Amino acid sequence: MQQESETPSSASDSEPRRFPCAQCGASLEYAPGTDALRCGHCGYENRIVGSTAPILEQDFRETLRSLTTNAATRDNIAIHCDSCGASYSFDAATHAGQCPFCGAPVVAKTEQHRQLQVQALLPFQIGRDQARVAFRRWLGGLWFAPGGLKDYARNDARLAGMYVPYWTYDADTTTRYQGERGDDYQVQESYRVIENGEEVERVRIVTKTRWTPATGTVSRFFDDVLVLASRSLPQDVTERLEPWDLANLTPYQEEYLSGFQSEMYGVELEQGFERARELMAPVIRRDIEHDIGGDHQRIHTLETRYGAIRFKHILLPAWLSAFRFRDKTYRFVVNGRTGEVQGERPYSAWKIALAILLAALLAGGGLAAWQYLSAAKQGPALDYRPRYGWVPTETHRLQNANPVGSPGA
């Protein structure tokens, strides 16, 4: 049976709203991939009435001014993790537990955050069970992962459904530049060589470049430049989760957050735009090079004016798992829309050594392999297992997994 959402029982400005089940009173939670809230207890469903309001982008400079008067913000109560600095909304069920960003135990310590309001979000499409399957498959495909990592995933990996904060920026840019255009031309050059004891003159074709000054102006409109507003997730890992289907952004409604957590942004609106400028810069340089034309381009100076800048504060869905091993945190993220997994990972040194040995056996054939083996038995080649059970981690991309290459080599 479906009904429209009722007015939630306790609605305050700062705490997450609860949506009680009309049938049994338990908390309703957003059901990923649907437009409904579902009761985990009795299965009752409430349909979320979608907002028809357009998603409005805000004026950047005006908002920066209004931030000084707190006009555009609201208070949020958040849990703060002292280990990694993450601040996130508490889910009514867990006031204490493990920090989903770093795996450290957190005791509920709440604090007030004045934050800009969220304009839009992408609701979860992938549920917890699907995320777990994707995560395990990813781990299963990792070569050289220590056995302990897989045991962890099988037994105690806790996946937290987290809405991760992002900014998007639009900007109308105009860039004036000064540089040089290089045009290639060919000349015949004569030169002398000694041949059979005689000096002879030869001719060769040489390519040269003629440089001429170039100045001009290029314009480009940037739409929805995406900037991570979390300081708790590694940027290189989250960037590999892109692209997001931003065309499906839904106006912010608290129902979608029910049963999930959301992180408070740690990158402020103004800092986020600095990152957006970094992302725009190479595109502008390419525009300039194209504008200069010729065979080669040099850019000496450029000055960009950012006209109308607009932004949105949005939330994107991810399943997180953090795992601590020997004082280091390894973080895994599952894209809550597509199920794609990215993460940091440790390597097992002895599994790598074994693979190198195996490769040598295959490549070297009988005698060489026998020699290698004897050398390995005597020498310290395989001897480092107990001392370096784990070698330093590096972030890892599944698509690039290379079964025989050693990490960092």
Q: Which residues of the chain form contacts with Zn ion (CB under 5 A)?
A: 21, 23-24, 26, 39, 41-42, 44, 81, 83-84, 86, 99, 101-102, 104
Q: How far is the CB of 131 from Zn ion (least distance, A)?
A: 20
Nearer to Zn ion (CB atom), residue 19 or residue 256 = 19
Nearer to Zn ion (CB atom), residue 96 or residue 283 = 96
Phi, psi of 311 (to 5 degrees): -145, 165
Nearer to Zn ion (CB atom), residue 21 or residue 145 = 21
Q: What does the alpha-carbon distance between residue 321 and residue 161 come to, in Å, rounded to a whole number?
A: 9
Q: How far is the CB of 268 from Zn ion (least distance, A)?
A: 20
Nearer to Zn ion (CB atom), residue 109 or residue 208 = 109
Phi, psi of 299 (to 5 degrees): -110, 120
Asked if 357 contacts 382 with a C-beta cutoff of 8 angstroms, the reply is yes
Q: Which helix (H) or strand (E) holds 110?
A: strand 110-116
Nearer to Zn ion (CB atom), residue 101 or residue 306 = 101
**If we measure between CA atoms, which residue out of 281, 313, 297 comes closest to residue 173?**
281
Tokens of 111: 């604090």
Asked if 32 contacts 336 with a C-beta cutoff of 8 angstroms, the reply is yes
In the numeric block, the tokens 């725009």 are attached to 280
| Terminal Cα distance for the chain, rounded | 59
Q: What does the alpha-carbon distance between residue 159 and residue 100 come to, in Å, rounded to a whole number?
A: 8
Nearer to Zn ion (CB atom), residue 233 or residue 316 = 233
**If we measure between CA atoms, which residue out of 214, 222, 216, 223 comes closest to residue 175?**
216
Nearer to Zn ion (CB atom), residue 38 or residue 313 = 38
Nearer to Zn ion (CB atom), residue 104 or residue 133 = 104
Q: What is the DSSP secondary-structure string of 112-154?
A: EEEEEPP-EE----S-HHHHHHHHHHHHHT-TT--HHHHHHHH
Q: How far is the CB of 39 from Zn ion (least distance, A)?
A: 3
A 10 A CB-CB count for 18 gives 14
Asked if 87 contacts 63 with a C-beta cutoff of 8 angstroms, the reply is no
Q: How far is the CB of 56 from Zn ion (least distance, A)?
A: 33
Q: How far is the CB of 44 from Zn ion (least distance, A)?
A: 4
Q: How far is the CB of 101 from Zn ion (least distance, A)?
A: 4
Q: How far is the CB of 40 from Zn ion (least distance, A)?
A: 8
Q: What does the alpha-carbon distance between residue 361 and residue 359 come to, in Å, rounded to a whole number?
A: 5
Q: How far is the CB of 325 from Zn ion (least distance, A)?
A: 15
Q: What does the alpha-carbon distance between residue 342 and residue 326 come to, in Å, rounded to a whole number?
A: 21
The count of residues in the chain is: 409
Nearer to Zn ion (CB atom), residue 3 or residue 117 = 3
Q: How far is the CB of 234 from Zn ion (least distance, A)?
A: 13
Sign of CA dihedral 394, 398, 400, 404: positive
